[in-house]
Amino acid sequence: MEYLFHRGEKIPLIGFGTYRLGSLDKSEELGTLSYGIDKYGITLIDTAEMYGSGISETILNGIIRRYDRSRLFIVDKILPCNAEKGLYAECCKRSLERLGTDHIDLYLLHWKGNVDLQDMADHMEQLVRSGMIRHWGVSNFDTHEMEELFACDNGPKCFCDQILYNLADRGAEYDLIPWCNEHDVLTMAYSPLCNSYDPRVAVTSAEAVKRIAHKEQKTPESLMLSFVIRDRRTVTVFKTSSIPHLSNNMKNVFEPVGADDITELEKRYPPPTEKYPLNKI
Ligand SMILES: NC(=O)c1ccc[n+]([C@@H]2O[C@H](COP(=O)([O-])OP(=O)(O)OC[C@H]3O[C@@H](n4cnc5c(N)ncnc54)[C@H](OP(=O)(O)O)[C@@H]3O)[C@@H](O)[C@H]2O)c1
């Protein structure tokens, strides 16, 4: 594993996502997560109270029990509908119970919704003081929403913005990722493989991606991950329940992609030339 350092924390560049965890055999899924921790050091794990209405968190309980808790960096999320009602402590407590741990390393507001950002910052800071969470952040926030948050008391304590970002969806490069870098906010890319829908298949089976992956001695999936983490300032979380897929995804993933191959990729997947709203799924 390679790491970056952010506000004194050592963060793995690559972590596990858990959206739709629980759709297969639970022991197989736990086996894949354990394999990823043991073989590749994938100790950052992203979940949410929303995923399977708590099922993903409950499955992670099996992982947290098996490992030294201090080795793991658990990211969890509160739904905006709960945040709007001020249910931060209640939701966090329920997540902790499902996870079977006494703290969450990074607690995110899942998306902005109609949440009052000053109220959120106040509640999140209260959770930090109580020891239930170590850091807090947001997800799916575009640049203007980050600016609104930073205008609040304690807003600049936001640790992270988790966003949709991958080779085929590079809109965040226009101003959001630069803004986060400038303001010391970690960007964490979700759906780096374009998730399980048709777009992922289209990208990983695109001739240019297959050709460049082969040249770089990567797989199409590991090339997509290498691309997302290429500046070593953005970390990412991908989901897989399968050990063969995991091995595929990690193949030479930390080998930098050659500049000529980045140029080739950019012909097919150009960087944004203008601002458009942050995509979300
Ligand atoms: N904050 C947010 O709003 C938000 C939104 C979406 C996602 N997320 C987080 O980000 C994580 C990752 O995003 P994601 O799950 O949407 O998409 P993703 O990681 O880009 O793609 C996951 C999908 O790709 C498949 N896959 C993985 N490796 C593969 C391989 N080598 N070959 C073929 N298929 C492969 C997985 O199926 P298998 O399990 O069969 O391998 C799964 O269906 C989520 O799990 C979640 O934790 C956050």
For the CA of 20, the nearest atom of ligand 1: 45
Token reading at 199: 């777009």
Smallest CA separation from ligand 1 atom 15, residue: 239
The C-alpha atoms of residue 156 and residue 28 are separated, in whole angstroms, by 40
Whether the predicted model's global pTM rises above the 0.75 cut: yes
- Protein residues with CB under 6 Å of any ligand 1 atom: 17-19, 46, 110, 139-140, 162, 190-196, 200, 221, 237-242, 245, 248-249, 281
Three-state helix/strand/coil letters over 192-259:
CCCCCCHHHHHHHCCHHHHHHHHHCCCCHHHHHHHHHCCCCCEEEEECCCCHHHHHHHHCCCCCCCCH
Q: In CATH, what class is 3-268?
A: alpha beta
Higher per-residue pLDDT: 196 or 149: 149
Residue 7, pLDDT > 90, answer yes
What torsion do the CA atoms of 106, 99, 229, 224 make, to the nearest 10 degrees?
-150
Give the Cα-Cα-Cα angle 182, 136, 19 (nearest 5 degrees).
Answer: 100
Q: Phi and psi at residue 52, in whole multiples of 5°?
A: 60, 30
Listed in order, strand segments (DSSP E) in 23-98 are 44-46, 73-78
User: How do residues 104-137 score in pLDDT, each as one tens digit?
Assistant: 999 999 999 999 999 999 999 999 999 999 999 9
Smallest CA separation from ligand 1 atom 47, residue: 17
Q: Phi and psi at residue 14, in whole multiples of 5°?
A: -130, 130
User: How do residues 157-185 score in pLDDT, each as one tens digit?
Assistant: 999 999 999 999 999 999 999 999 999 99
Residue 198, pLDDT > 60, answer no
Q: How does residue 196 score in pLDDT terms, banded at 50, 70 and 90?
A: low
Q: How does residue 205 score in pLDDT terms, banded at 50, 70 and 90?
A: confident
